[in-house]
Amino acid sequence: MNASDTELMLRGYGLTTAEMFYRMPDYRNVLNTFIWQGYDLAPDHPRLLAFIDFWKDEIEGPLHSVRFTHRKQVSPGEWRNVTGEFTLH
């Protein structure tokens, strides 16, 4: 059974976006990009690493580099202690 996106976020998963630069199979001097996005666990990023392994095994264009960012969508609320209030006019 697949978990919904909300269930994944509540379990600590965050949205990971990766930009992959790869060489064209027939033209090795030409770089192209591919964007991958999914919910993953930081700092190990098992899903992203599994996709990179899949790419290396199944896709003809070899990877040049990978840039990624990770952001948790659900996090503890932020609060601050207010000790006074000023009202103007």
Domain ranges of the chain: 5-71
pLDDT in tens, 38-70: 999 988 999 999 999 999 999 999 999 999 999
Helix, strand, coil abundance in the chain, percent, nearest 5: 20, 35, 45
pTM assigned to the model: 0.75
Separation of alpha carbons 87 and 62, rounded Å = 62
- 13, 29, 43, 54, 81 from 46: Cα distances, Å: 11, 30, 9, 12, 38
The first and second tokens of residue 65, run together, are: 């580099």
What local confidence, expressed as pLDDT, does residue 84 receive? Answer: 72
> pLDDT-derived band of residue 76, with 50, 70 and 90 as boundaries?
low
User: Model confidence over 12-21: pLDDT tens digits?
Assistant: 889 999 999 9
